């Protein structure tokens, strides 16, 4: 009997874990039908090897925004193209990525380590001064990555509250389906204005650098899209990792003790990234030709939805993947995607997590949740999984 999946199973969870149906789908086969669109077949990919195959082959799979416009038929997919790297195929993707990649080299990012440390410590000071209980999301998880990415881009301090408002709800589909698109539109409208100001007076941030070095190669709209993509990829995702990672660490005293002592920080951060996989699905791909994936025939034009959270718990990677293990060392995971669309800001996110988790645990050695575990307000439907708040005490 064929497996019948709920349409939204890739973005639904039970606490920190993917729902059982996602595991059932992977057991049934690495590629299964998903009843999501009426006019285009959708294939859910949960196998690690198959997800890597899709994400690593832009020659056979496209994720250009025009695909969503084609299948939308007047739905939310026909809304404003958000620009940036996420919905671009080569050669446009290649051109934009070449502009950004140098800024995310280890050498250039090293200059951000002192500001990251200062931002982390300042917000821990604020938490201590406020006193327990405090909402870790509002006081730490959201503002830390927001300030880091705003420093990177050169966003004026007076505008950062607006950036927070745009960023927070764009992946949450639990309410009005139009709300995430409105957030994208407002963000781009603000960023086009910011780019115009930077054109007139280039600052020291990434936007100013791009204008000075490549201003004639990119339009204001293209720069706004790139900035929006960096805010999207560098804020809500890292904020969710900080909040969910704290929950995971409070449930695992061995991991927390190692981080508090500054031991095996890199390995533990990678394990938390794999285990939590806050970006639950990759941007949808569309088959450019008739092909076979994981034994499943797929026709040209079919949609392919890659479950990153499912692939990162594929038993092919190892044993006991449904928990965060203190001594696990995997060669690779897919929390940042794979291939040409591997998250350009991944090195910056790692820097933030490696700084934030040990500092938080050292400052508050008796940190604990300030509500019952079963009352944590997880987002019910969200591409980027997280919590709406996280009261903690010490």
Which value, to the nearest 10 degrees, does the dihedral of the CA atoms of residues 235, 336, 346, 226 take? -60
Confidence at residue 300, expressed as pLDDT on a 0 to 100 scale: 97
Q: What 3-state class would DSSP assign to 202? A: coil
Where would I find the H helices in the chain? 20-28, 48-55, 65-72, 92-100, 106-109, 113-130, 136, 143-153, 160-168, 179-200, 206-214, 220-231, 237-251, 253-260, 265-276, 308-311, 346-363
C-alpha angle 169-175-181 in degrees, rounded to nearest 5:
50
- CA dist 390 and 136 (Å) reads 5
Q: How many residues are there in the chain?
A: 394
Compute the distance between CA of residue 62 and CA of residue 89 in angstroms, rounded to an integer: 6
The dihedral formed by the CA atoms of 63, 9, 333 and 98, expressed in degrees to the nearest 10: 20
pLDDT recorded at residue 160: 84
At residue 14's C-alpha, the angle toward residues 253 and 236, to 5°, is: 75
Terminal CA-CA length for the chain:
51
Q: Which residues pair with 33 in a beta bridge?
A: 43
For residues 198 and 207, the answer to whether their CB atoms sit within 8 Å is: yes
Q: With beta carbons less than 8 A apart as the criterion, state whether 274 and 330 touch.
A: yes
CA distance 339 to 185: 28
Structural domain boundaries in the chain: 9-319+339-393
Q: Rounded to whole angstroms, how far apart are CA atoms 180 and 172?
A: 7
Are 220 and 195 within 8 A, CB to CB? Answer: yes
Question: What tens-digit pLDDT sequence spans the chain (394 residues)?
Answer: 346 678 889 999 999 999 999 999 999 999 999 998 888 999 999 999 999 999 999 999 999 888 877 776 544 444 556 667 888 899 988 988 988 888 888 888 898 999 999 999 999 999 999 999 999 999 999 999 999 999 899 988 888 887 777 766 555 555 565 666 677 778 888 899 999 999 999 998 999 999 999 988 899 989 998 898 888 778 889 999 999 999 999 999 999 999 999 999 999 999 999 999 999 999 999 999 999 999 999 999 999 999 999 999 999 999 999 999 988 888 789 999 999 999 999 999 999 999 999 999 999 999 999 999 999 999 988 899 999 999 999 9
CA distance 321 to 264: 19
Give the pLDDT score at 171. 55
Q: Could you give the CA distance from residue 232 to residue 303 in angstroms, rounded to a whole number?
A: 23
Residue 170, pLDDT score: 57
Rg (C-alpha) for the chain, rounded Å, is 21
**Token representation of residue 249:** 């660490």
Tell me the pTM. 0.91
Strand partners of residue 42: 303
What order do you get walking across the sheet with 368-369 strand by strand?
134-135, 391-393, 368-369
CATH number of 9-319+339-393: 1.10.630.10
Question: ∠ CA 46-93-274 to the nearest 5 degrees?
Answer: 30
> Looking at residue 6, what is its pLDDT?
80
Range list of H helices, 6-62: 20-28, 48-55
Contact 277, 309 (CB under 8 A): yes
């Amino acid at each position: 009997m064929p497996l019948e999946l709920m349409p939204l199973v890739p973005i639904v969870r039970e606490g920190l874990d993917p729902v059982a149906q996602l595991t059932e789908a992977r057991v049934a086969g690495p590629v299964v039908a998903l009843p999501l669109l009426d006019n285009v077949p959708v294939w859910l990919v949960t196998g690690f090897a198959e997800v890597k195959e899709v994400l690593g082959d832009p020659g056979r799979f496209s994720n250009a925004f025009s695909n969503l416009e084609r299948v939308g038929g007047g739905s939310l997919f026909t809304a404003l193209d958000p620009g940036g790297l996420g919905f671009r195929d080569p050669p446009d993707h290649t051109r934009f990525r070449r502009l950004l990649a140098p800024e995310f080299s280890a050498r250039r990012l090293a200059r951000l380590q002192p500001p990251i440390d200062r931002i982390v410590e300042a917000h821990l000071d604020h938490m201590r001064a406020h006193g327990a209980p405090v909402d870790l999301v509002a006081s730490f998880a959201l503002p830390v990555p927001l300030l880091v990415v705003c420093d990177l881009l050169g966003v004026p301090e007076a505008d950062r509250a607006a950036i927070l408002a745009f960023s927070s709800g764009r992946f949450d589909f639990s309410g009005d389906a139009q709300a995430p698109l409105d957030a994208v539109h407002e963000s781009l409208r603000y960023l086009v204005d910011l780019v115009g100001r930077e054109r007139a007076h280039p600052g020291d941030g990434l936007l100013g650098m791009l204008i000075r070095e490549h201003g004639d190669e990119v339009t204001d709209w293209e720069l706004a899209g790139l900035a929006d993509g960096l805010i999207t990829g560098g804020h809500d995702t890292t904020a969710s990792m900080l909040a969910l990672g704290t929950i995971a660490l409070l449930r695992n005293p061995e991991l927390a003790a190692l981080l508090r002592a500054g031991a095996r920080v890199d390995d533990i951060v990678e394990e938390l990234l794999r285990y939590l996989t806050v970006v639950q699905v990759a941007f949808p791909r569309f088959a450019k030709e008739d092909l076979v994936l994981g034994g499943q025939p797929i026709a040209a034009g079919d949609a392919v939805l890659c479950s990153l959270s499912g692939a990162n718990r594929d038993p092919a990677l190892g044993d006991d993947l449904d928990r965060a293990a203190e001594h696990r060392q995997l060669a690779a995971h897919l929390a940042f995607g794979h291939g040409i669309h591997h998250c350009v800001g991944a090195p910056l996110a790692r820097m933030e997590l490696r700084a934030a988790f040990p500092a938080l645990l050292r400052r508050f050695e008796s940190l604990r949740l300030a509500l019952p575990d079963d009352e944590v307000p997880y987002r019910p439907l969200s591409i980027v999984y997280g919590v709406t708040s996280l009261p903690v005490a010490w």
